[in-house]
Structures are given as structure tokens and as C-alpha cells.
Amino acid sequence: DAGVTQSPTHLIKTRGQHVTLRCSPISGHKSVSWYQQVLGQGPQFIFQYYEKEERGRGNFPDRFSARQFPNYSSELNVNALLLGDSALYLCASSRTGDSNQPQHFGDGTRLSIL
């Protein structure tokens, strides 16, 4: 089975633009989470979605939004990009909201803001 897949792998944007990042969970996984990892730091939790509903939100501004589709894939949207949004964005999926199986991470999307 394929792991968690994220697209694109790399992206370059300029300040003020909008970006959409995509994540496909492992088959059978219904929970998707998003994390932001700034260079040299640990990942920070942004959102968790389960069965198309938001289950958790980290301390990020309203410029960040996400959604989950009926096939459990997910999009992370960031508006009005700032230089500080440059980071590796990681997606993780798990079987259910509190499954006994730990979540699996994708390889991430590296976003650079010029």
C-alpha cells in the first residue's frame, strides 16, 4: 500500500500570494493532520480532520484553513503568505481518531516564500 502522499514536493511563492497543499492518506485512514516545521525547529500542529470534520486546531492565524474531502484526502490553504510561512508542511494520517496505530507522516511539501 502507498504511504501518505503529499503534493507538490516543493513550491515557491511570493509574499501576499495564496497556496494550496494536498495530502492523500493511507488507504483506510480517516484522520488527517497537518504540521508546520520551520527550519531548525520541531513540527507544530496546525489542524486535525476526522470524517471531514475539524477535530483540533493549533495556534495559527485565520490565514490558515483546511478541509477534508469524502475520500479522506485533505487540502491545507494559506492566504496572504508571509516570509515566515516558509517551512516544511507535513501531513499525517491515522486509521481513526484515536486508533491504536500511530499516525504515519508523509514526506512533506517544502514551501519557500520570496
Partner 1 sequence: AQKVTQAQTEISVVEKEDVTLDCVYETRDTTYYLFWYKQPPSGELVFLIRRNSFDEQNEISGRYSWNFQKSTSSFNFTITASQVVDSAVYFCALSEDNAGNMLTFGGGTRLMVKP
Q: Is 88 in the site for partner 1 (CB under 8 A)?
A: yes
Q: Is 74 in the site for partner 1 (CB under 8 A)?
A: no
Contact window for partner 1 (CB under 8 A) among 15-23, 61-69, 70-78, 91-99 = 91-99
Residues ≥6 apart with Cβ < 8 Å to 61: none
Would you say 112 and 14 are in contact if contact means Cβ atoms under 8 Å apart? no
Q: Is 56 in the site for partner 1 (CB under 8 A)?
A: yes
Q: Is 25 in the site for partner 1 (CB under 8 A)?
A: no
| DSSP label at residue 83 | G
Distance CA 85, CA 37 (A): 10
> Which of 11, 13, 45, 60 touches partner 1 (CB under 8 A)?
45
